[in-house]
């Protein structure tokens, strides 16, 4: 799908539109303007230009954000309890000797010696990758062997099991933007392994304690749906790329930005039956919000992120977004079973 911004303003209706535009830039949350309508889809529904609103941080320095430990000093009761086991916080974690993936790595003669070098593990719900610090600032090396989860808590090794080795650039080139925090697009270094609060709440000022609306995703602020899906889509669209860096992850995205000014992705993938419902329902929701201006449904209508739960989705009215996982006309008690794979992540 291609988009062109409207550039010519020949009629007087357009002159007054320009005035409305300059006024609307004072409003928060930013609302759509008719100049963003660029095309129509096959059903003659209006399509918006996903890049037409908001700002980005391409080419700027990564902000000096407040780190999670400091946030949790005040938020230990509301968020602290679930943060320890949050899959975002946990995406990269220390390589505990007793981790079943570590046991699998020690169990083979060819991989046992290199197991001593492993410092961190990425993932463990479906697959674990092994990592170590390279000694260079903000860089990790990725092992050419991985451990795939089998039944129970058993893991089986895959990859270059006979001859394991460390890749020193791959994590920076292909992974960092979605599995680490504060990644600098120019040298591909990160500030913190795993996800800090910053990836979703952005560069929030401490004054938010008195003015919660300064904080992205706070209830007081009522972020526009496209602001919300930009935050989640920066990592959950796993087949796009940054125009400026050509890397498969966003360039210096800060919560509040419009992801699609610099990040391009094929929205038609939402209809691709070869993609698992896990990735497809994400793209469907993003497309509905950023192209079709749907204001009814975002990731947060169904996902309670800190509660790590989708219980609230059970209470939604039936609609087109349900059929990715539930057969139309059938009871919601049954849902499609699916496996999740990703070419980008390599599992």
Within residues 245-304, the interface with ligand HEC by CB under 6 A covers 248-249, 277-278, 281-282, 285-286, 297, 299-304
Alpha carbon distance, N-terminus to C-terminus of the chain:
28
Q: How many residues belong to the site for ligand HEC (CB under 6 A)?
A: 85
Task: Please state, in angstroms and rounded to a whole number, the distance separating the CA atoms of residues 75 and 83.
Answer: 10
Q: How far is the CB of 147 from ligand HEC (least distance, A)?
A: 9
The verdict on 238 binding ligand HEC (CB under 6 A) reads yes
Among 144, 189, 218, 294, binds ligand HEC (CB under 6 A): 218
Q: How far is the CB of 303 from ligand HEC (least distance, A)?
A: 4
- Window 142 to 201, contacts with ligand HEC (CB under 6 A): 170, 174-175, 177-179, 195, 197, 199-201
Task: Please state, in angstroms and rounded to a whole number, the distance separating the CA atoms of residues 63 and 257.
Answer: 13
Listed ranges 4-12, 27-35, 158-166, 307-315: which one lies at the site for ligand HEC (CB under 6 A): 307-315
Longest dimension (CA), the chain: 77
The candidate with the shortest Cα–Cα distance to 131, out of 98, 172, 163, is: 172
Interior/surface letters 28-54, b for 16+ CB within 10 angstroms, e for the rest: eebebeebbebeeeeeeeebbbbbbbb
Q: How far is the CB of 10 from ligand HEC (least distance, A)?
A: 38
Nearer to ligand HEC, 105 or 199 (CB): 199
Q: How far is the CB of 34 from ligand HEC (least distance, A)?
A: 25
- Window 33 to 92, contacts with ligand HEC (CB under 6 A): 66, 68, 70-75, 78-79, 83, 87-88, 91
For 154, what's the count of Cα atoms within 13 Å in the CB-facing half-sphere?
Answer: 5
Lookup: tokens for 163: 């001859």
Helices 225-236, 277-290: axis angle to 10 degrees equals 150
Nearer to ligand HEC, 35 or 258 (CB): 258
Nearer to ligand HEC, 53 or 253 (CB): 253
- Window 94 to 113, contacts with ligand HEC (CB under 6 A): none
Residue 61: count of CB within 10 angstroms of its CB: 9
Helix-strand-coil split of the chain, %, nearest 5: 35, 15, 55
Nearer to ligand HEC, 17 or 306 (CB): 306
Nearer to ligand HEC, 57 or 179 (CB): 179
The candidate with the shortest Cα–Cα distance to 180, out of 256, 105, 93, is: 93
Q: How far is the CB of 62 from ligand HEC (least distance, A)?
A: 13
Contacts of residue 160, defined as CB under 8 A and 6 or more positions apart, other chains included, come to 144, 145
Nearer to ligand HEC, 16 or 186 (CB): 186
Residue 266: count of CB within 10 angstroms of its CB: 12
- Window 122 to 141, contacts with ligand HEC (CB under 6 A): 122-127, 129
Listed ranges 30-38, 102-110, 185-193, 209-217: which one lies at the site for ligand HEC (CB under 6 A): 209-217
Give one word for 122, left, alpha or beta, with left for phi > 0 and alpha for psi -120 to 50: beta
- Window 326 to 345, contacts with ligand HEC (CB under 6 A): 326, 332-333, 335, 340, 344-345
Per the DSSP assignment, residues forming a β-bridge with 149 are: 155
């Amino acid at each position: 799908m291609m988009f062109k911004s409207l550039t010519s303003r020949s009629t007087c209706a357009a002159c007054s539109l320009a005035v409305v535009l300059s006024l609307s830039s004072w409003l928060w949350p930013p609302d759509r303007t008719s100049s963003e309508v660029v095309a129509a889809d096959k059903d003659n529904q209006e399509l918006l230009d996903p890049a037409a609103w908001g700002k980005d941080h391409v080419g700027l320095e990564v902000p000096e954000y407040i780190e999670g430990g400091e946030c949790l000093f005040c938020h230990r009761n509301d968020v602290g309890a679930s943060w320890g086991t949050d899959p975002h916080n946990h995406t990269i974690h220390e390589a505990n000797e007793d981790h079943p993936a570590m046991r699998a790595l020690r169990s083979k003669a060819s991989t046992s010696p290199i197991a001593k070098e492993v410092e961190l593990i990425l993932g463990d719900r479906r697959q674990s990758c092994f990592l170590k610090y390279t000694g260079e600032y903000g860089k990790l090396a990725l092992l050419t062997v991985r451990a795939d989860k089998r039944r129970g808590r058993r893991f089986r090794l895959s990859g270059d099991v006979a001859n394991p080795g460390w890749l020193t650039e791959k994590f920076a080139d292909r992974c960092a933007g979605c599995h680490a925090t504060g990644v600098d697009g120019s040298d591909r270094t990160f500030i913190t392994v795993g996800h800090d609060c910053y990836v979703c709440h952005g560069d929030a000022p401490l004054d938010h304690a008195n003015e919660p609306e300064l904080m992205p995703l706070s209830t007081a602020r009522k972020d526009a749906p496209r602001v919300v899906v930009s935050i989640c889509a920066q990592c959950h669209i796993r087949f796009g790329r940054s125009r400026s860096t050509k890397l498969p992850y966003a360039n210096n995205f800060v919560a509040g930005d419009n992801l699609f000014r610099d990040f391009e992705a094929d929205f038609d993938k939402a209809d691709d039956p070869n993609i698992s419902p896990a990735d497809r329902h994400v793209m469907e929701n993003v497309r509905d919000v950023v192209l079709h201006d749907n204001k009814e449904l975002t990731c947060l209508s169904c996902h309670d992120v800190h509660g790590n739960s989708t219980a609230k989705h059970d209470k939604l009215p039936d609609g087109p977004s349900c059929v990715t996982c539930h057969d139309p006309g059938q009871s919601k008690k049954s849902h499609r079973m699916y496996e999740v794979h990703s070419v980008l992540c390599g599992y």
